[in-house]
Amino acid sequence: MSTVTMQDTVVPQDLRSNEFDYRPMPVLVPISLALAVVSSSALLGIVGVFIAVLAAILSISAMVVIARADGMYSGRIMAIIALVLSILFGSLGIASQIYAFKTEVPEGYRRVSFAREISAKGFPIQEGRATLHPDVAVLIDKKIFLKGYMFPQGQKKGLQQFLLLKDTGECCFGGQPKPTDMILVKMQNEKGASYRTGRVAVAGTLRLTKDRTPEGLQPIYALEAIRCERSRSAF
């Protein structure tokens, strides 16, 4: 009986050449590619831009890992695709934000920062009495455009008036807002406004008011608004 040894076994050339063809892929590659695809949301909002930046960083890191592995890793093409997509979507997202910022203010209206130009000014004390800050006084009876958050209430559509708050902090949604942190918005059209949980942009004429809200709050400022919509830009 003859014995077959390893030396006698003939291994086909194609099997020997493919024995070590498989190369693992760094986990950063599929992650960066998935994030790059998700970053297409940059066209809809600023969050997508941050996702695009993260995808670009991870794809570059993946390419560095692959380059340093001396051929042990695969996935370089996928990492490049992820980088290209993230740069593309990130750039388009930034461009759309810039365009929205430049075009969202109606003609004849002035962009005003609710937090910095109204709320932060407070009410200076003169001769023992609270007075209107001079920087805010020049805005009264002027057409302004500003952003804030709608005070939650039961009605969702056709709001003829609502409170606009400077932020979503606990001071506003967990208790009574300060007079400087709220503006009573009075819609000047029959359609009114729809309640939104996110940031809204409102355009109208700023007034002083003594009106109380159904919640018993008494704001100092009122805005006779012609428009209330979801904020087009994140700024």
C-beta separation of 221 from 207 below 8 A? yes
pLDDT grade, residue 10 (50/70/90)?
low
106 has pLDDT over 90: yes
Work out the number of other CB atoms within 10 angstroms of the CB of residue 7: 6
pLDDT grade, residue 49 (50/70/90)?
very high
* CA 139 – CA 156 distance, rounded (Å): 30
127 has pLDDT over 90: no
Q: For tokens 């930034």, what's the residue?
A: 94
pLDDT at 4: 47
C-beta separation of 58 from 79 below 8 A? no
Residues whose CB is less than 8 angstroms from the CB of residue 114 and which lie 6 or more positions away in sequence, other chains included: 146, 147, 148, 164, 166, 183
**Run of H or E residues at 207:** strand 200-208
* Rg, C-alpha atoms of the chain: 30
pLDDT tens digits for range 150-170: 988 778 899 999 999 998 874
* CA 113 – CA 220 distance, rounded (Å): 17
Residue 127's region, left for phi above 0, alpha for psi from -120 to 50, else beta, is left
Residue-averaged pLDDT of the chain: 87
Does this model's pTM top 0.85?
A: no
